[in-house]
Amino acid sequence: MKDAKNLDNLRDKIDAIDSELIALLDKRTEVVLEVGKTKEKTNAEFYAPDRERAVYRRIEELSKGLFPKKALRSIYREIMSASLSLEKPLRIAFLGPNATFTHLASMKHFGLSGEFIPKEEISSVFNDVERGKAEYGVVPIESTAEGVVNHTLDMFINSELKISAEILLEATTLLLNKSGNIKDIEKVCSNPHAIAQCVQWLKINMPNIPIVEVVSTATAAEMAKNDPSVGAVASEAAATFYDLKIVEDTIQDNPYNMTRFLVIGKKESTKTGADKTSLMFAIKDSPGALYKFLKPFASRGINLTKIESRPLKQKAWEYVFFLDIDGHKSEENISDAIGELDEMASFMKVLGSYTKSK
């Protein structure tokens, strides 16, 4: 009886604390709405990634107790997402359909209170943002298994949209079907990137089962929902969304497989102190050309974190290079390097400076 009474007392304390938390959240929301009114008067952007990063940094610094910092960050992601939806619901176009890894990345970055708009093509995501049908778009750019997504790079050549943020997502792939029994699977379906992530597992564990490439992991999951003979390589969210059972968990060959996504929009991001800058430039193929064009960064000690090349389709033997560098374009050494590059390149564009994803 004594233990039961003590348990009741502890639960009463939790209930009292919860009441305080709810009251404080309401008070915080009142201030958020005042911020929204001020933004509207000054024509300021409702969504401010740099402010969100500052909030995350501050709560991590304030957290000194037992509550996990990672969980605290997730909680504040949803608090800020819900608060923002009261100011102005954000529309986010993404490479769909629902329950794809791009959808998961979108929800991870914007929280669950955004309005998520699935699109069938990367070009459609860009088009929605350019035409104002969505404030932001989310597209895949590279994975540790398959490398760069060339179509996303190509879209930046003619688009005026900017990179507002990046998202890193651990791409955990599962084998799903209707029954949960591997013996019922007569073919495995998924998109090429997901299949590439678990090709060795499939060869070892399902050597005689045909593999069929489809446009997305969600498409594969929908096929599995409608056909008991289909096994889908997809995400855990797809299992929930399409009412499938997990045949095998975590089948990717590399347990640390990551996929990187870009958030695209019309506005630039301000400096946060933990930024990277993406840019593109075109040069003619000639001996030592690339060395000459990278020298402005090397001579200033600017760290180059990524380089990719694509043929410029409008001109033969001319190439577009995509660079990621550490730092914000507003920093003097980076600004000077970009200016020097611009004088030499036949074409040059800064795609955006944005906060690095953890």
**pLDDT of the residue at 315:** 65
- Residues 106 and 120: their CA atoms lie apart, in Å, by 15
pTM of the model: 0.81
Mean pLDDT taken over the chain: 88
**pLDDT of the residue at 314:** 64
- Per-residue pLDDT tens over the stretch 140-155: 998 876 778 888 998 9
**pLDDT of the residue at 318:** 73
CATH of segment(s) 27-87: 1.20.59.10
Q: Is the distance from CB of 335 to CB of 297 less than 8 angstroms?
A: no
Residue ranges, CATH 1.20.59.10, the chain: 27-87
**pLDDT of the residue at 50:** 74
Entry field: residues in the chain: 358
Residues 18-39 as b or e (16 or more Cβ within 10 Å = b): eeeeeeeeeeeeeebeeebeeb
244 confidence band (pLDDT: 50, 70, 90): very high
**pLDDT of the residue at 83:** 83
Fold classification of 275-355 (topology level) = Alpha-Beta Plaits (3.30.70)
Residues 54-81 as b or e (16 or more Cβ within 10 Å = b): eebeeeeeeeeeeeeeeebeeebbebbb
Pick the CATH number of 91-171+258-265 from 3.40.190.10, 3.30.465.10, 3.40.630.30, 2.30.29.30: 3.40.190.10
What's the per-residue H, E or C state across 29-91? Answer: HHHHHHHHHHHHHHCCCCCCHHHHHHHHHHHHHHCCCCCCHHHHHHHHHHHHHHHHHHHCCCE
Amino acid of residue 321: F
**pLDDT of the residue at 316:** 62
Q: Give strand pairing partners of 280.
A: 322, 349
- Per-residue pLDDT tens over the stretch 181-231: 999 999 999 988 889 889 999 999 999 999 999 988 889 999 999 999 999
Residue ranges, CATH 3.40.190.10, the chain: 91-171+258-265, 174-248
Fold classification of 174-248 (topology level) = D-Maltodextrin-Binding Protein; domain 2 (3.40.190)
Question: Which residue carries 């489809």 as its tokens?
Answer: 214
304 confidence band (pLDDT: 50, 70, 90): very high
